[in-house]
A and B are shown apart, each in its own frame.
Chain A
Amino acid sequence: MDPLILTQGLNVLFAVTLLVIIVLGLAVVFGWLGVMNLAHGEFIMLGAYAAVFTNQHGLPFILAVPLAMLVCGTVGWLVERILIRPLYARPFDLLLATWGLGILIREVVEAFYGGGFHNVPVPVAGAVDVLGASYPAYRLLIIALAAPLIGLMLWWYLKSSTGARVKAMVGNPELAQAVGIQTDVLARNTFIFGSLLAGLAGVVIAPLMSANPYMGLDFVITAFFAIIVGGLGSVLGLFVGSGIIGGLDSVVSAILNRTTAYLLVLAIAVFFLWLRPRGIFSRV
């Protein structure tokens, strides 16, 4: 095979995989729990700064994983308790409060680390030869790592039918209570789980792009679009939405340019929000 085409193909695969990793957490929080968390990107950013922290203190990269989970889990727990719980039934206010939260997290991080960019060295350097095409090893590692990450989410989703219970709780909270689901506990755990996935995504991303306090904005918006295109609450939709948004973006970027790709992604997002707000694969 032509190495150039192969490289481009790997690029598209990588772009989609990366987007899936970014979307996973929001798929849990927004797609299943129905919380339009505009601060989700900031949880990803916190994860990236966990990698910045371990790097600055000369610790192994892998330690960023437990650190990110600790930070994002704690913040997620606090946020659910203080901010999200009173607002489940007030979607506008939820949107605004989480936007405010996003600013808050950005500014706090900026107060500690400044507004500049922080690089994290790639933990697995070098390139690997794939069928004649030389491709960065860390990118390949991410494509490989996506599998266990997605597996983790699916395990949680399927484990003692947690995913079904979350759907049940969101669709019919009274009946969910009646069959014995402690809805407040389940909602809290779901939110924390989504925050943890965001933190993990941040760690994975940190070596690929410089960490800075504003990095979360693009992530959350792209992730929202992918979920809306794919369909809220659908596992299959998550992959299809990420595939369409991420694939389109990288293919059009390669053929034409980044701006056209971005405009196209926005146009598709507007189309779905307007005419197909339930996406391609919506639940029910």
Chain B
Amino acid sequence: MSPLFQFDDIVGGYGEVEVVRGVSGQIEPGRVVGVTGRNGVGKSTLLKLLFGSLPLIGGAVRFRGRDLKGTSPAQRSRDGISFCPQERIVFDNLGVWENLSLMQSRAAVEDFAVFFEVFPRLRERLRQHAGTLSGGERKMLSFMRTMSEGKTLALLDEPTEGVQQENIDHMTDLVLQARHDQRSFVIVEQNIHFLENVADYLIVMDQGRIVLEGPAVTIKRADIIAHLGV
């Protein structure tokens, strides 16, 4: 049986600039793959290539055994892949509630209770425009939107950037719970603590390539830091 999600020898970038230069990996149901590396090594670009926001120059992406070539991001979302981008992460011109219920028009506030319990700030600001939220609050809203979609696979780009430690802990719990429910994740992160807590498998990138990878338990933190290194 083929894996849930598989990408082979991904090459791509912006225009003629190749940022990702041959990255492969795969993921099974209920697993979390963490991708880390310094700024600018191609992690975000990799996620955009996987989701189809950027065109592939080379390689292939498969979901449930089917080649996603020619499938638009909107279609991938309908097929069961969530994407939580790093930039322009929420609809600034919509309210918090509209951001959450945009594609779930029948939803009631109570359907999001599990999230509001841990992010009560957002519940207080349901009617407020998302553009007026702080950076951390927007991050949580974006994370919450992605998690509440309940899709089989979610691609998260730096979910903890600018988020307080307390809320990072809540995010950890929510991802672990979803993993328990057989949902899968590819998470790009620079926060190694977070990744160590949620990921089964780690990929470290540099210069658009994988420089270190393996099951999370086998990879030493010092080795990762050497690659993140200052």
Contacts and interface: CB of A to CB of B under 8 A. Distances in A.
A14 B101 CA distance: 38
Contact of B53 (A164, A172, A178): A178
Contact of A178 (B51, B92, B93, B98): B51
A63 interface: no
Contacts of A233: 93
A256 to B, nearest CB: 40
Nearest to A173: B88
A82 interface: no
Contacts, number: 70
B105 interface: yes
A160 B104 CA distance: 8
Interface in B89-125: 89-94, 98, 101-103, 105
B37 interface: no
B105 A284 contact: no
Contact of B93 (A167, A181, A182): A167
Given A164-B102, A174-B88, A284-B131, A179 B94 contact: no
B130 to A, nearest CB: 10
Interface string A146-179: 0000000000000011001101101110111111
A180 B103 contact: yes
A171 B101 contact: no
B185 interface: no
B145 interface: yes
B78 interface: yes
B129 A284 contact: yes
Given A178-B51, A181-B74, A161 B92 contact: no
Interface in B38-94: 51, 53, 72-75, 77-78, 83, 85, 88-94
A283 B94 CA distance: 9
Contacts of B75: 182
Contacts of B89: 175
Contact of B91 (A160, A171, A180, A182): A171
B57 to A, nearest CB: 19
B92 A174 contact: no
Interface string B173-197: 0000000000000000000000000
Contacts of A176: 91
Contacts of B91: 167-168, 171-172, 175-176
A164 B100 CA distance: 11
A183 interface: yes
A168 B77 CA distance: 16
A175 B94 contact: no
Contact of A284 (B53, B85, B93): B93
B55 to A, nearest CB: 14
Contact of A179 (B92, B131, B145): B145
A170 B94 CA distance: 11
A27 to B, nearest CB: 16
Given A178-B53, A178-B73, A178-B83, A172 B105 contact: no
A167 to B, nearest CB: 6
B102 to A, nearest CB: 6
A182 B73 CA distance: 9
Contact of A175 (B88, B98, B101): B88
Contact of A180 (B53, B74, B105, B131): B74
Most buried by B among A170, A171, A180, A183: A180
B93 A283 contact: yes
Contact of A171 (B74, B94, B105): B94
Contact of B72 (A164, A167, A177): A177
Top-8 shortest CB links A-B = A180-B77, A171-B93, A177-B73, A160-B105, A178-B83, A168-B91, A164-B98, A284-B93
23 contacts: A161-B102, A164-B98, A164-B102, A167-B91, A167-B93, A168-B91, A170-B93, A171-B92, A174-B53, A174-B73, A175-B85, A175-B88, A177-B74, A178-B73, A178-B77, A179-B77, A179-B103, A180-B74, A182-B75, A183-B74, A283-B93, A284-B92, A284-B93
Interface of A: 160-161, 164-165, 167-168, 170-172, 174-183, 233, 283-284
